[in-house]
Structure 1
Amino acid sequence: MRLSDWQREVQAYLLDPAGQPNPALQASLLGSAALSAEQGLAIYHNAYRVRLLEALRGDYPAVHGWLGDEEFDALALAYLNVHPSQHFSLRWLGAQLAEFIDGYLVPAQAAPLSELARLEWAFTLAFDAVDGAPLSLTQMAALPAEDWPSLQVRLLPSVQWLVCRHNSLAIWRAHKEQGEFPGSQPLAEVESCVIWRDQLITRYRSQGADEVTALQGMAVHGWSFAELCGALSELGEQAPMQAVTWLRQWLSDGLLQRYSTGEAR
């Protein structure tokens, strides 16, 4: 058997949930008095899955905490059967877990659990995002008055958004602070959460619907500062003040970077 064929057989064996090696692979291996070839393969097969489970537990600690070891491992193994590792880095192993949960469980069970999984994955994406150049309050203070109307910004790469319909944030905080599990509950009102990285710390806060619309308008849809003020026209003379207040908050959070004309959005 050529080396490339042997490697493919080992891969097929590791990815086989039943752990049944091809006879040709088994025949190519030599055991010892202490450990047979079959036992060695079984140990390797088990160790591979244990490492994958460890990676998923690490990416989804709150989901793991909610379900417990047995239920989480059953979910994770079912997920791995459908979405085996496809990347050289385990960083991307759990990328599709939330979507898998939606199809794996009945809707009433899936909705809060997949939302929590999306929240945890958003924190992972925020932490691992490439660096950007945050626009600071000092830079804004130095901006000439005539440049304000045409000012455009965009989000830093780490910024993530999540719309929560359940108390996922409360569950996540309880796990992180090692508090008592609060139980899953639907929210009386939908909650929007923005998540980002501040140096080496991931941060988050909730946003009202009006602020979400304003931030998405400027940083996603390309509004200028003048267009933001126009969208707030119902506030009358208070529109520029509200726009400045939000802009100051976004800059203090570290969500924005300057957008230059001609740059791809």
Structure 2
Amino acid sequence: NINFEKLSSGIPEIDELLYGGIESGTVTIISGPSGTGKTTLGLQFIKEASGRGERSVVYTFEESVEKIVERALSINIPIKNMIDKGTLEIKKIEPLIYTPYSFAQLVKEDVEKRNTKIVMIDSTSGYKLSVRGAEITTHLHALCKYLNNQGVTVFLPTEIKKITGEFQIAQEDISYLADNVIILRYIEIKGELRRAIGVLKKRLGDFEKNLREFQITKYGIKVGEPLKNMRNILSGAPSFIEET
């Protein structure tokens, strides 16, 4: 019997977007172009879980462990303490060593032997390029289903190639894997390129329908008030509605 308690991000504005947080034991796609902060947002949820003594594992297919650690430290996520405490492990997955089955076994063994509560597969495109075999999406879906049944919360950072323009969740059709979809994207505000965060889907509850400005600072993630005076945000050509 899985109890869908909510996982807080530790950032009040993100929790407001999600009406309290993400339900544990669900799959969340974090979708956006390169550099928008997908891994960082996943690590923010992991930091909160670590504070509750829960263990997380990040399987990184693209970046080195050192790079992830360095970036987390630069934005005030105490990642070394989390690793030392045993509430976080980052595993670099070298390309073309694993089949979908052997990778799934690696994840299952960790969950069953070490009581892991959060798994982040960073990223879905890295998984597809690095794991040998056909029907990769089907295997990823089966792995996510298994993790759900174990009450494990899954984060899937998913890169979209377009920086602006017509909105899409993901390159391939992996959106059906997700209980929740969080989007990060670049928007232009008065000639300046900024980032925004929003929620597109939440299977187990309601969510705020606005986008908010999303900043990554040396003090951590900062999220602003809803961008209520903007329109056409998802078209990639947002414009301000002049206040009268």
How does the TM-score come out when normalised to structure 1? Answer: 0.25
| Greater per-residue helix proportion | 1
Q: RCO greater where, 1 or 2, for CA within 8 Å and sep 6 or more? A: 2
Return the index of the structure with the highest Cα Rg. 1
| Greater per-residue strand proportion | 2
